[in-house]
Amino acid sequence: MNTLTIAWRNIWRHKLRSLTVMCSVLLGISAGIYAAALMKGMLEGRFDHFIENEISHMQVHHPDFVREPEPAYTVATEGDALQALQGLPGVSAATARLKVHGMIASANYTGGVQLIGILPEMEEATTGFSDKLMAGENLSSDDGNRILIGYALAQKMKVDIGSRIVLTFQDVDQEIVSAAFTVKGFFQTISNRYDEGVAFVPAAYLGSHLRTGRAYHEYAILAEGMDRVEDLRPGVEALFPGMRVRSWDQLSPELSFWLEAGGVVSYAFIIIILLGLTFGLLNTMLMTVFERTRELGMLMAIGMNKRKVFALIVMETLLLAVSGAVLGLGIGYGLVRLSAKNGIDLSALSDVMRELGFSSIIIPDVDTTFLLLIPVMVVITALLAAVYPALKALSLNPAEAVRE
């Protein structure tokens, strides 16, 4: 009869009490896993949106454009830089853009906007832009003064497809240029702020007004995978000598911060839950020790040494916590997998979610490392919860305890 068997039988002496503790561990762990997976899903949705729709994995700019985005600061290239970029190993797609800040105006609205001149086919390959098109048609390279605006901006401007709007901006010589555009379509991303602040036009047409020639302000590169991003840097830097090459985490440090913070918050969730469970376990085990004073005194009287008594109490606490945690892990992970199949549809809250910059479909996801660390954290929790009751058991005087 080893200590483990006795401990296992002991925890079933009070079935209801033990089941209550196990259920609280189970619920705590599964809820913690699900909450962490939900948060990771939301952050990853935002991350994917940023990479796929806004910044890609890597961008190249004129060094002065980074400090002050003047139209004159275009990227200097030799030959067809785009073709060379697409030929680099590890590059999935690449495109070039013109970018200028200006004023957009309709009969009912005037406001600031960032006008982006795109190469429609390459933009599609890099950002899959057509997926975001919610009305009208996508731009094509033959288009002249056609424009795509965000649906949120269209509502503000009270314009429809086919409406004409006027854009005013500075050219490379800082001359004010005005041009009229016809709305060809509306796009909608997960971020209202983005949709209200950006408009797309064909690069060739915008370039003719900016007088940038065949030069661009920005080259965006999509890598074949996150792990390939840094491998691309030497090749890209060689193609654009003297230009500023930045990867996604340099372009958007806050994105990198949020991803890291999301991981930390997941652990914080679990730690807070486990901290609560520690007190539940401690309370249960303390009650057990008090109820079994006579029995523990008898065990010490007949010759069970302190190490074994300590181990018995610790083992019982571990069994209570670990049984609940294993079930909680299974249920939590199962729920995450189940929800990830079709995603959690928060369309009913889509306005709020877009306002916050999150997708209304959340695909919960959980790190394997996180899942593997939970049992370790549970064991540490159980050990912490067991120490005081076990020490209490050891402090019993066998001579007095057997007479309780």
Binding site for another protein (CB under 8 A): 1, 6, 9-10, 12-13, 294-295, 298-306, 308, 397-399, 402-403
Tokens of 131: 């997926």
Residue 106: name the closest of 69, 45, 147, 136 by CA.
147
Residue 279: name the closest of 374, 138, 202, 385 by CA.
385
Of residues 6 and 335, the one with the C-beta less far from another protein:
6
What would you report as the CA-atom Rg of the chain, rounded to the nearest whole angstrom?
Answer: 31
Residue ranges of alpha helices (H) inside 131-210 are 151-157, 192-197, 203-210
Of residues 10 and 284, the one with the C-beta less far from another protein:
10
- The least CB distance from residue 305 to another protein, in Å, is 5
Of residues 277 and 299, the one with the C-beta less far from another protein:
299
- The least CB distance from residue 317 to another protein, in Å, is 16
- Cβ(76)–Cβ(243) under 8 Å? yes
- The least CB distance from residue 394 to another protein, in Å, is 10
- The least CB distance from residue 43 to another protein, in Å, is 48
DSSP labels, 203-235: HHHHHHHHT-TT--SEEEEEESSGGGHHHHHHH
Which residues 6+ apart lie within 8 Å of 268 measured at CB?
Answer: none
- The least CB distance from residue 226 to another protein, in Å, is 54
**Any idea of the CA torsion for 275, 278, 280, 286, to the nearest 10 degrees?**
-150
CB atoms under 10 Å from CB of 108, counted, come to 9
d(CA 385, CA 370): 22
Of residues 80 and 400, the one with the C-beta less far from another protein:
400
Of residues 337 and 403, the one with the C-beta less far from another protein:
403
Of residues 11 and 378, the one with the C-beta less far from another protein:
11
- The least CB distance from residue 386 to another protein, in Å, is 19
Of residues 260 and 404, the one with the C-beta less far from another protein:
404
- The least CB distance from residue 2 to another protein, in Å, is 8
